[in-house]
Structure 1
């Protein structure tokens, strides 16, 4: 059976296993052989990354044709008004064309652990958390969307890809799922591995 791995990628880790510039990679977090990321998450972004040993599954998850919705919690500079949120929801026109409509809402709290290193509140005294769900995956799309409406992204955490969620995974932890296996009973803890 295909194996799928849910990983909470920390800040400043590449979404690949090797790097010729000495940056942190997935190899420092997960030591399972012959698995590859389904899509990517930028070096300076955090959150859910899916990996698998099944090339067909990777394609189904990552190819834009399948339109897997991706949900992000986004800390932006300033306080977006209703007009800015409406623009994000209806779609904005970027250099590579208009974006599809998105789901967006303000959050009173992110529900996420503090980033390491944390943001400097003196440099960014006014911020707001948003939750944004998109169904496409252009390069740095969420960052470009929030900048377009005048609220640059300060922190970006992906919390869901399709039906898979980040819930219960701390930064650097991962969980294995065998697809088509019986579901885990409610209330039982996932199998996790801590960052070494």
Structure 2
């Protein structure tokens, strides 16, 4: 069984081929990883960064990706504005999105995690501060974290998945990967 932890950079597709428009030159997993027979266990949006797990084991892939297993996923989220206790409490209770309420999340304000610089950098507004939160969810709807922070009035500027279950991004720079025990 192979399990690969990959630090997906910003603007990289979470798949090995680009099925987009003809002639598109978007970067994919194949630009970074040349290991046959592995597949992503879950996804990260093009504009999200961080931990992506890949495996050749179908059962492990299902356990990681299927929301029924409620595997915790922790994100470091830079939001526009200074997060309030009220907004954090709403995230902890679960928020209502267009596709229904979310499960309760773990949410807390954190100090700037001093991550690698993003390329391109986030948009910065001199008149509007920003801050970081740690958000742990146990489901995985499309663009869920971004929609949750927006629902409580704090749009996401940068989104980095730091942890999935017991696996973390510790020691991996953007674009780097390593095999780990499952």
Q: 1:124 to 1:152 in 2, by over 3 A?
A: farther
Root mean square deviation, CA, Å = 1.2
The gaps in structure 2 that reach 5 residues or longer are none
1:43 maps to which residue?
Answer: 46
CA pair 32-93 structure 1, distance change in 2 beyond 3 A = same
> What's the offset of the Cα at 1:111?
3.1
Verify: 1:146 aligned to 2:145, yes or no: no
Match of 1:119 among 112, 117, 122: 122
TM-score computed with the length of structure 2 as normaliser: 0.94
- Among residues 81, 86, 105, which one is paired with 1:83 in the alignment? 86
Residues paired across the two proteins, number: 178
What TM-score comes out, normalization by structure 1 length?
A: 0.87
8 Å Cα contact 2:73/2:136 also seen in 1: yes
Name the structure 2 match of 1:95. Answer: 98
Distance between the aligned counterparts of 1:169 and 1:86, measured in 2?
Answer: 32
Match in the other structure for 2:16: 17
Structure 1 residue 71, shift from structure 2 partner: 0.1
Q: Which runs of 4+ in 1 moved over 4 A?
A: none
Which runs of 5 or more structure 1 residues have no equivalent in the other structure? Answer: 180-196
| Paired residues of 1:77 and 1:124 also in contact (CA < 8 A) | no
Query: What displacement does 1:123 show?
Result: 6.2
What are the Cα deviations for residues 89-140 of structure 1, in whole angstroms up to 9, with x where unaligned?
A: 1111101111111101111112311111112434674101000000110110
Greater CA drift, 2-11 or 170-179: 170-179
